[in-house]
A and B are shown apart, each in its own frame.
Chain A
Amino acid sequence: MTRRRLAVVLVPALLALALLAWWCRPAPRPGRVVNESAALPHVFPDLDGVTLPPNIAPPGVRIDEPGNAFHAVARGARGPVIEVSSRRPGLVFPEGRWHRLLAANAGGAITLTVAARDAAGRWTRFAALAMDVAAEPIDRYVTYRNLTPLYNLAVDVGVYQRDLTSFRTRLVLHGRQFTDGCVNCHSFCQGSGERFTLGVRSGTWGNHTLLVADGRVMLLKQALGYGSWHPNGQLATFSVNQPRQFFHATGEETRDVLDMSSALVCFDLTQRRFVTAPVLSAPEFLTTYPCWSPDGRSLYFSRARRPWHDDTFPPPQYDQVRFSLMRVAYDPDTGAWGQAETIRSGEAAGRSFVFPRVSPDGRWLLYTSCDYGVFPIHRPNSDLGLIDLRTGLDVPVDINSDRADTWHSWSRNGRWVVFDSKREDGLFTKLYLSYCDENGHLRPPLLLPQRDPWFYDNFWYSYNVPELLERPIRVDAARLGRAVRARDVVDAPLPPELAKPAPATWRGPGPTR
């Protein structure tokens, strides 16, 4: 190699190395002289007082305090002490050490002490943020939908699966895979990604439901709504809705959704047919949001008397529809249904009670209440509510915000709840993880951690319909996409007694969350 060529190679390489060294130079750390502040630092996400799952990934922390260098120390009674520094107001904890720290302090607490350096080089150390670490882990995976705040048109809707112990996220299915389609309700059997259903809608490929069970992917011809699997894994109950969206000319929330009709059907996997019962599909009622009890002997759902009798849309009584929480007994051996009983009356309370979810231990029933209707995410006053099924009494829920809180799901150990909330900015729903102690007290929630401290600053998608999973979805996106496009559908007709099935043709994404 000639000298000239050598120079051509070496000079840029040395320059690149120098640049790299400058880039990677260690951030300054506080010396001995430090101002102590009694105030808590402003950080995002809010960590003070939250309860952390012992297996959660380390949240990237943005420090909203003035300064040109930042330093944080995370420590507990046991385990390693983690120190991180940065010239930017964002701190990222090393995953391995973070997990060791949490594991060592499971059932205890950790603190996070933040310090910031001002322009004069003086460091200020703020009061420590205290976080509890639960003894019980959260389910490892959460499946959710990412979408922009949609109205009628949808081109970017996808269901994703996130590993909560890290930041690994994988696509389950995206609407782009079937010509600007929409993926919506997903429902899992016993917190397992090996048995689930997923609704798909597309102008080109039709509105159907993907059913994955025993490694097989089936496409049901029917478009189904909210679902719940019977614990035996052979029966899945769905709502069949006629959802319609309309819009308000004023007010904080433009969108509104109602079901013109809705009923429940059960899909029998062994016989591949839909069945229903009068208690589930009486035409004078709107019946939706099914949820099986863990023993499979009761089905919970929401029901309201349907006040309209024609197709006028929106019906003038749209804001007078209040759902009640209902329960009906079921005999898995004979398939016989009992009488519906009211758990909470929406009419009596002047609120609409929707989306019942029973904890896997059968003790708690978590639901959402809002001023009216069936779509709480569009009602800013939506709040979570909890009922102790042993006593039948309400348990106060302290984690509600002044914005919509809904779409909740339990972890398999019944100790963790994931839910959607618009509390941060009022528009983009985000996922929060809250610990439920043995008394049903929901602890201050943790925002779904992201590695990048500035992740949520320019993330303009909403998270919705989160479902915690013990076992992940293993079917890859391409296979699910091919199944949707295959037109090879299982044509199991809905029971004829159902009032009005969902429209057969796609009319935009319909209601969005």
Chain B
Amino acid sequence: MVGGEECEGRRQADARLALFVVVAFVWLWLCVDPSRTYYGAGLTALPAFSPDVMFRRAYFTTLGGPVRFVSAWLSQFFLWPAWGAAILTALAAAAAVVTDRLVTCLAGRRLHGYRYAPALLFLLLDGHYLHLVDWQLGWVVALAATDVVLRRPEGRPAVRLALLLAEVALLYGLLRGPAVVAVPLLALGETRRRETRFLAAVLVLWLASLPWLGTWCGFDQPLGEVYRVLFGPLLPNDEYGMARAAVAGMAAFALLLGALALMAAPSAKPRLELRPLLAWAGVAAGCAALVVAGGDRVEGRRLEMCAHAERGEWDAVLATAHRMGARDITQYEDYNILLALTHTGQSGDWLFRYGLPLFSMLRGDPRLGDEETILKMRTQHGLQLCELDLELGFINMAEHETHESLETQGTYPGLLVPMARIEVLQSRPRAAKVFLRLAAAQPGDPEGAAPLLRALRDDPALSGDDEQTGLARNRLHTDMYNDYSTTHMLEQAVKEHPDHRLAYEYLMAWYLLSNQTDKLVAAIPTLPAFGREALPRHYEEAVLCQEALTGAHADLGPWRIRSETRRRFEAFTHALGCAGDELAAALRVPSRPPLWAARVWRGPWSDTYYYYRLFGTSGVQP
């Protein structure tokens, strides 16, 4: 009878776990969307994968390398949301199963509720777009290996010691960090056996030797990072704080399991910890909590914008920007929004709607923050920046950027294919083939490198490829050694290619953001129409500002300022309560508004150039 109840309880517990797994999969697939982690690789630390010998060597000669290698390979499947969700769900489910087995082994009774703890932790990390697949995989393997060893029948102490030490060494070699957690489990597990209790002491001593082991192993990252996580300041105040806390939580969890082994005597009668109905309710509540509060929506939108930008879905970038709160928009989003505005030809009309600052232009700026932030910004945007440079015709600059990104980011297909295009432009088709082969060998060949590789065999200049000919057409021809100043590069680009719309969009946006209205006004008479019937609004506003500053009418060639723009500017000056020299004085020094300018602060003009000029900020609350 008892056996029947136990069997029924086990079935019900498995059914609950199955429900949890299904909900987790659907949630990960449709809500979290692992492809965002893939496209935001610079922000989420998703590793690159490469089939080349140096990549394998780097992984298989370091502690924890094998697991990280597998993790890097698995991570490439995050490009497809369903696959990514399946991988993450499988890891969470595996963590639940091995935890269940360990609890059973250590405590001598089934405690089904415990297994949800690591699974939930895994899913919470996934929901916050913290890419820790290597840790998760390592954990699963570490717990499984610990379970196997602890379940081994009694043996002679020497044999057992040899077995344990071999396992510990294997765990370090394979897993790196998670081994730190497996070892205390092993040690505590051993204390249950009187005759092998001294082995526990050996393993505890082994723990004490870890700093030495870390140094001895020669590579700085493996254990140092783990120690920083486990013994450094609790909950560090940075974006990886949660990940570190989670790792510390895992260690605590492992110790808790071990404590169970010390405290709980094996029960003769199996006991279910919860009544079935309550258990179902608990799991349902867990699922609901996961779906409602398990993900980081802001980070999700941020990464969603990255994904849209990398795929060139500019309207979707702007739509995502509309859905984000002004406070959630950071320099990463600024950059993507400017990309979207310029690519859709809207920068002249909507540049100041989104509150873009000056440093959302071509390159990173020291004002972004500390070194780490700049590097992350640069690496994340290296992929897009390289494509932008290519489109603008700055081939050498694109080459520079892509190589920096390649060094820091790794062999992402999204980086390798533009690199190949650059090599073709630089008359190095054989080097292009190397990059294309690497990209084509990635799971699924997401960037279509194989067809390009085939085309390159017969056409070393890719002259039959529209994208390539477009890039070659806009190429910059004048060398400005070490002069990457935005103004000079863009001015040269429009000088050499007067029909280059993207270069014009960026140049005029740069003039606006850097308050160079004199240059902007000077460029207007020769500004190509690009299918427009009227001057973009911000250009008109800049002209009005310039006229107010100089007191003279600007020569706009064939262009005219629309009456509604004039009326709006007059309403602004009226609200400001000044005109003539007083207005010119207020506008002369940008971003230094006089006190009385507070009359128009946050008024209906916050999406205009003159508002930006006066206050140094802009933007409409979405």
A residues neighboring B (CB under 8 Å): 146, 148-156, 171, 176-179, 246-252, 254, 256, 313-314, 318, 424-428, 452, 455, 457-461, 477-478, 481-482, 485
Contacts and interface: CB of A to CB of B under 8 A. Distances in A.
Contacts of A477: 218
A138 B511 CA distance: 62
A248 B396 contact: yes
Q: Which of A151, A426, A458 has the most CB of B within 10 A?
A: A458
Given A250-B395, A458-B437, A426 B407 contact: no
A441 B24 CA distance: 71
Interface of B: 51-54, 58, 61-62, 215-221, 375, 394-397, 399-400, 403-404, 406-408, 411, 423, 426-428, 430-431, 433-435, 437-438, 441, 475-484, 489
B453 to A, nearest CB: 11
Contacts of B375: 153
Contacts of B407: 148, 150-151, 153-156
Nearest to B408: A153
A318 B441 CA distance: 42
11 contacts: A146-B54, A150-B403, A249-B476, A249-B489, A250-B395, A251-B396, A425-B430, A425-B433, A458-B52, A459-B434, A461-B54
Nearest to A255: B400
B426 A426 contact: yes
Nearest to B406: A148
A404 B404 CA distance: 22
B404 A151 contact: yes
A457 B483 contact: no
Given A254-B400, A485-B220, A249 B481 contact: yes
Contacts of A460: 52, 411, 434-435, 438
Given A248-B479, A250-B396, A250-B479, A176 B434 contact: no
B52 A249 contact: no
A146 B54 CA distance: 9
A247 B400 contact: yes
B435 A249 contact: no
Q: Which of A251, A313, A455 has the most CB of B within 10 A?
A: A251
A252 B434 contact: no
Nearest to A178: B220
A460 B431 CA distance: 8
A458 B438 contact: yes
In the A-B complex, list the 8 residue pairs whose CB atoms are closest, starting with the nearest: A425-B430, A478-B218, A246-B482, A427-B431, A426-B428, A425-B431, A254-B396, A458-B437
Contacts of B435: 460
A179 B438 CA distance: 27
Contacts of B438: 458, 460
Contacts of B52: 458-460
A176 B219 CA distance: 7
Main secondary structure of the interface of A (DSSP, over half): loop
Nearest to A424: B430
A149 B434 contact: no
Contact of A482 (B58, B218, B396): B218
Given A248-B396, A457-B437, A458-B52, 6 more contacts: A150-B403, A153-B375, A154-B407, A425-B428, A425-B430, A482-B215
Nearest to B432: A425
Nearest to B394: A249
A478 B222 CA distance: 14
Contacts of B489: 249
B495 to A, nearest CB: 13
A149 B405 CA distance: 11
A154 B403 CA distance: 10
A457 B408 contact: no
B218 A459 contact: no
A359 B597 CA distance: 78
Given A176-B221, A247-B481, A428 B434 contact: yes
Contacts of B218: 177, 477-478, 481-482
Contacts of A148: 403, 406-407
B426 A252 contact: yes
A507 B478 CA distance: 28
Nearest to B419: A460
A156 B220 contact: no
B397 A249 contact: yes
A151 B482 CA distance: 13
A478 B216 contact: yes
Contacts of B433: 425, 457
Nearest to A157: B407
A254 to B, nearest CB: 4
A236 to B, nearest CB: 26
A176 B220 contact: yes
A149 B403 contact: yes
Contacts of A485: 220
A458 B441 contact: yes
Nearest to B423: A427
A179 B219 CA distance: 9
A64 B139 CA distance: 47
Q: Which of A146, A156, A252, A460 has the most CB of B within 10 A?
A: A460
B428 A458 contact: no
Nearest to A202: B220
Nearest to A455: B53
Nearest to A450: B53
Contacts of A155: 407-408
A402 to B, nearest CB: 11
Contacts of A152: 404
Contacts of A150: 403, 407
Nearest to B488: A249
Contacts of A458: 51-52, 434, 437-438, 441
B217 A478 contact: yes
Contacts of B430: 424-426
Contacts of A177: 218-220
Contacts of B426: 252, 426
B53 A428 contact: no
B431 A426 contact: yes
